[in-house]
Structure 1
Amino acid sequence: MSTMFRMCLLLIFISPALAVLCNPADKKALLQLKQDLNNPYLLASWDPPDSDCCYWDTVTCDRKTHRIISLTISDNVVPLSNFSAQIPPSIANLPYLQSLEFHKLPNLTGPLQPAIARLTQLTFLRISWTNISGPVPSFLAHLKNLTYLDLSFNNLSGTIPSFLSQMPYLGTLHLDRNHLTGSIPESFGYFKGSSPGFYLSHNNLSGHIPKSLNNLNLTFIDLSRNNLEGDASMLFGSNKTVLTVDLSRNHRLAFNLSNMVFPSSLTSLDLNHNKVYGGLPQELTELNLEYLNVSYNSLCGEIPVGGKLQSFDIYSYLHNKCLCGSPLPPCA
């Protein structure tokens, strides 16, 4: 076999590895985005000369089309001390994005960028631990394919928009740790195609929990540290499959726990700092609880013996009206 023939074979085998896969339009869009974000150090690998953007940090390309489908800009690894910007309109120049994340960027400010509405293929959107502000914008309604929406740990204000319930595939909703006010929309009991996990804690929400939530079979519910009041029994029932319910520190939630029917799936229940009354039902002993806190309520009677109820310390039961029995002092 001649040397020339061997060389030709070698080039045939290695040429695919040398081919630039990145779509030129996507590469141009990334470079514009980098410039608009003030060239943060995290994006140092986004270097134009003869480099393939499918191999740049924080970017993922589709294996078949080689279009960019995922972009994550986060300071989890490298502190972005020089990162100070708003989400730029140029983000819309990546139309094939399915996943977009801006995370732990304290100097990311301003309102949510309306251009995000043009990214209609998004299924995952996380903009969290930033200083973005303003309301939860109505343009999010255009993102019909979203299954996961996380806008937690920001400075969002205003009310929770009811249109979120019209998103047909939404499976998880994080609006926790903001400055949202008003009530939970009644429409949240009528999600079109799913029963998502709700994380709405650490806001300034008020009013009653919508009775319509009885229609949903939620897996995770965190409504803690708001100003909600009244009944919460619609969140429970033998037909539910909820795993975690956290209603703590609303201070004005008031309902009778005595006859509550809990789903067998429940593993974590936190009701502390409310006005829950009645007694602890015997049914709680049948649950595989990993966490329980009913302290600072108006409960009475003996703590049922059995299951895991005696495995929790006294702090899970303290400061009730007349609750007694192990691990609290014996009933008189």
Structure 2
Amino acid sequence: MNLSFVAILILILSFPSPSISVRCNPKDKQVLLQIKKDLGNPYHLASWDPNTDCCYWYVVKCDRKTNRINALTVFQANISGQIPTGVGDLPYLEILQFHHITNLTGTIQPTIAKLTNLRMLRLSFTNLTGPIPEFLSQLKKLTLLELDYNQLTGTIPASLSQLPNLNAIYLDRNKLTGQIPESFGKFKGQIPDIYLSHNSLTGQVPRSLGDLNFSTLDFSRNKLEGDVSFLFGKNKTIQTIDLSRNALEFDLSKVELPESLTSLDLNHNRIFGSLPQGLKDLQLQFFNVSYNRLCGQIPQGGTLQTFDMYSYLHNKCLCGSPLPDCK
């Protein structure tokens, strides 16, 4: 072997080997390991090995600039117990998700209030109980609040309207009671899509909601009553309205419908009058007014005849295609 080559090799080996760069923040790593312990060391978190870099663990992500944990997204996991208090000790979290975990119980953890950088809070398809906490209104950066498919009870906090950046709020499929807050017609900044279906909400829809241009409102399967015609209007930009299976009562013939409307579900209410002629000018993709007290001829044209008779059945005296001819 060439002596000069051997000398160079010895020289290279004499230098200390460069250490492998570790991104994981030690504080975050300690918190995550405690979260794993509090959840009973589930198999779902088997990759959370203290001897490895936590930025590469399953269901977590690190910010590339700060190397701090900014996402914890646990989903479809065989995990039992409550949301660990440690989640509040990950101050850089922007996304927190516990989704489709049916054995997750307890209340919404109060330490979540410390996560002022949260943009997405998704606690859904679990067995969380208790009220929707007031402290959620402190998370001003939230763009998505998803608390659907749980066992949450009590009333909807009026303070949620103080969240200025919400794109959508999902409170559907719970056991919520009381009225829709008047404040939901006073969102500042972004106007969110609102999903409140499959609860036990009562009373009238606040008239203040008529002052805002929502894109989607789903209040179906509650116990709401009264007149909601103010949700409509020629100048509105709403696209989807689902008010089905309530006890709403108003004259549909006097309603002016926005051109933007693509989905309208009013089935199983006490709505009377006739169908507005303006319906035939809309590009409707879904339409159902069955089980009401409507009368008169169904307007002919547009998309109205593309829906089958089940969209119109069980009214007082509706007639015309796709129902039998008017007499």
Instruction: Please report the TM-score for the alignment, with normalisation by the length of structure 1.
Output: 0.93
**1:269 CA drift (Å):** 0.4
Residue equivalent to 1:271: 266
**1:35 CA drift (Å):** 0.5
2-side partners of 1:21 and 1:69: how far apart?
Answer: 13
1-side partners of 2:260 and 2:155: how far apart?
Answer: 32
Task: Write the deviation string for residues 43-76 of structure 1: whole angstroms up to 9, x where unpaired.
Answer: 1111111x1111111111111111111110111x
RMSD between superposed Cα atoms in Å: 2.0
Residue equivalent to 1:33: 35
Letter in 1 for 2:74: I
Q: Determine whether 1:96 maps to 2:97.
A: no
**1:287 CA drift (Å):** 0.8
**1:15 CA drift (Å):** 6.2
Q: Determine whether 1:160 maps to 2:161.
A: no
Residue equivalent to 2:303: 308
Letter in 2 for 1:126: R
Q: Determine whether 1:198 maps to 2:194.
A: yes
- In structure 2, the CA distance between the partners of 1:173 and 1:204, relative to structure 1 (3 Å rule), is same
The one of 270, 280, 301 equivalent to 2:275 is 280
Q: Determine whether 1:182 maps to 2:178.
A: yes
* Equivalent residue runs for 1:55-74 within 5 Å: 55-74=56-75
2-side partners of 1:248 and 1:261: how far apart?
Answer: 19
The one of 285, 292, 304 equivalent to 2:287 is 292
Q: 3-state SS of the aligned residue for 1:141? A: helix
**1:127 CA drift (Å):** 0.3
Q: 3-state SS of the aligned residue for 1:149? A: strand
Letter in 1 for 2:216: F
Q: How many residues align?
A: 321
2-side partners of 1:266 and 1:287: how far apart?
Answer: 7
**1:194 CA drift (Å):** 2.0
Q: 3-state SS of the aligned residue for 2:164? A: coil
The one of 225, 242, 245 equivalent to 1:246 is 242
Q: Determine whether 1:257 maps to 2:258.
A: no
Task: Write the deviation string for residues 12-62 of structure 1: whole angstroms up to 9, x where unpaired.
Answer: xx969x41111111111111111111111111111111x111111111111
2-side partners of 1:63 and 1:234: how far apart?
Answer: 48
**1:290 CA drift (Å):** 0.4
Where in structure 1 do 4 or more consecutive aligned residues deviate above 2 Å?
A: 1-5
**1:222 CA drift (Å):** 0.4
Letter in 1 for 2:173: R
Residue equivalent to 1:325: 320
What is the aligned-residue identity percentage?
A: 59
- In structure 2, the CA distance between the partners of 1:2 and 1:281, relative to structure 1 (3 Å rule), is farther
Residue equivalent to 1:224: 220
Letter in 2 for 1:289: L
Task: Write the deviation string for residues 253-272 of structure 1: whole angstroms up to 9, x where unpaired.
Answer: 01111121111111110000
* Equivalent residue runs for 1:42-191 within 5 Å: 42-49=44-51, 51-75=52-76, 79-80=77-78, 83-191=79-187
2-side partners of 1:65 and 1:90: how far apart?
Answer: 20
2-side partners of 1:15 and 1:74: how far apart?
Answer: 38
Structure 2 portions without partners, runs of 5+? none
2-side partners of 1:215 and 1:52: how far apart?
Answer: 51
Task: Write the deviation string for residues 213-256 of structure 1: whole angstroms up to 9, x where unpaired.
Answer: 01111111000000000111121112211111000001x10111
